Amino acid sequence: MGGLVKRFTGFVLAGWGFAWVLGAGGAAWADTAVVLNSRDGTVSLIDADALRESARLYVGKEPHHLIRALSGSDIVIANAAGNELVLFNAQRREIRARIPRVSDPYHLAYSPDRRWLVINSLRLDQVDLYEASTLKLVKRLSPGKMPSHLAYTRDSSLVFVTLQGENRLAAIDLATQTVKWKHPVGEAPAGVWMTPDEDYLLVGMTGADYLEVIDWRKPVTVARIRTGKGAHNFLALPDGKRVLVSNRISDTVSVVDVERLAVTEQISVPGGPDCMELSRDAKRLWVTSRWAGKVSVIDMDTRSLVKQIPVGRSPHGILLAYDASGK
């Protein structure tokens, strides 16, 4: 992704939008939570040590999800209604480039082999397959209604896409750029996650209260795991044996044992928990509380709420940008 800055130099906007910065003085750089406020079109930067918002910048129309760039410390932000990707540097508080004419990017992820960037367009019912290094559009597919979240196989041969508008999961063969199969699931599927042994896919049912466990090689549903109402998104814990699931309606985050395929704990997170991120030492869980307009910070030792930090409207995607020195 670093080469995109050179390719799109006409779109570099140094200093653009910084009338929005709050307290952007010469404070030392600290680990920073980057939070997308979808309804405001802004990004909130939160000092991870002080637990306070240090800046809020306008980035574009409807930013929903973000990923780390392939190289360097930049972050790629997808502005769905703005039809663009934004290359953002949290340490510099700088928009480094705008990549236009990306059709309604909602959810996105690089393949493990770094060859593909797949972008789901939820509003336009399409999935775009890009060459990751050049951002060349290779194929546009229409697998079904409202493609939401995605996940890959470890060998990057398949990408799985939840079709929220028709209650199905689609598998796309990246070698042939075709839909391999579509499998019926529960109501309003959102997050999809591959178990570490690659035996199963777990799919969160935002319109229900469970995860669907799918043997994707067949494909067939083999189990349901009750987590909470509005089961939505996933975040793996470092031990490789557990995954967190946010339950928007129940105001909880479930801890799921991926070997037993069972919930072992429930963590209370108020305000409609959505996307999640862990601190580097895994001692704090950061959660966007979407309905409350806040970010909730959870102590993972005590499973207790440390603080809720006000941000913009409808906070959605979140990532932690680390001290570039690695300290």
For 19-45, what is each residue's pLDDT tens digit?
233 333 344 557 999 999 999 999 999
Bond into 184 cis (ω within 30): no
Q: What's the rounded Cα separation, in Å, for the pair 202 and 212?
A: 6
Q: Measure Cα distances from 140 to 97, 170, 176, 183, 310 in Å.
A: 24, 15, 12, 20, 38
Tell me the pLDDT of the chain averaged across its residues.
Answer: 91
Q: What's the rounded Cα separation, in Å, for the pair 230 and 118?
A: 25
Q: 127: which residues sit within 8 A by CB, 6+ positions away?
A: 118, 119, 120, 121, 140, 141, 142, 143, 147, 150, 161, 172
**pLDDT above 70 as % of the chain:** 90
Q: Each residue of 290-326: pLDDT tens digit?
A: 999 999 999 999 999 999 999 999 999 999 998 655 4
Q: Each residue of 52-95: pLDDT tens digit?
A: 999 999 999 999 999 999 987 899 999 999 999 999 999 999 99
* pLDDT above 90 for 204: yes
* pLDDT above 70 for 153: yes
* pLDDT above 60 for 9: no
The pLDDT of residue 39: 98
The pLDDT of residue 324: 56
Q: Measure Cα distances from 146 to 119, 132, 273 in Å.
A: 12, 23, 21
105 is written with which tokens? 């990017």
* pLDDT above 50 for 247: yes
216 is written with which tokens? 């994707």
The pLDDT of residue 27: 46
Q: 92: which residues sit within 8 A by CB, 6+ positions away?
A: none
Q: 99: which residues sit within 8 A by CB, 6+ positions away?
A: 4, 8, 11, 84, 85, 86, 87, 135
* pLDDT above 90 for 16: no
Q: What is the mean pLDDT of residues 192-198?
A: 98
Q: Each residue of 158-189: pLDDT tens digit?
A: 999 999 999 999 999 999 999 999 999 999 99
**Residue 120: burial class (beta carbons within 10 Å; 0-12, 13-18, 19+):** buried
Of the two residues 251 and 5, the one the predictor is more confident about is 251
Note the pTM of the prediction, 2 decimals: 0.91
Q: What is the mean pLDDT of residues 239-258?
A: 98
Q: From the CB of residue 5, how many other CB atoms can be counted at a distance below 10 Å?
A: 17
Q: How far apart are the first and last CA of the chain?
A: 24
* pLDDT above 90 for 151: yes
Contact 203, 216 (CB under 8 A): no
Helices vs strands, H then E, count in the chain: 1, 28
11 is written with which tokens? 């779109």
Q: What's the rounded Cα separation, in Å, for the pair 273 and 295?
A: 9
The pLDDT of residue 30: 76
Residue 157's pLDDT band (boundaries 50, 70, 90)? Answer: very high
Q: What is the mean pLDDT of residues 186-198?
A: 98
Sheet holding 189-194, edge to edge: 189-194, 201-205, 210-215, 220-226
The pLDDT of residue 23: 36
Amino acid at 237: L
Residue 14's pLDDT band (boundaries 50, 70, 90)? Answer: very low
Q: Measure Cα distances from 95 to 80, 296, 305 in Å.
A: 17, 26, 32
The pLDDT of residue 8: 36
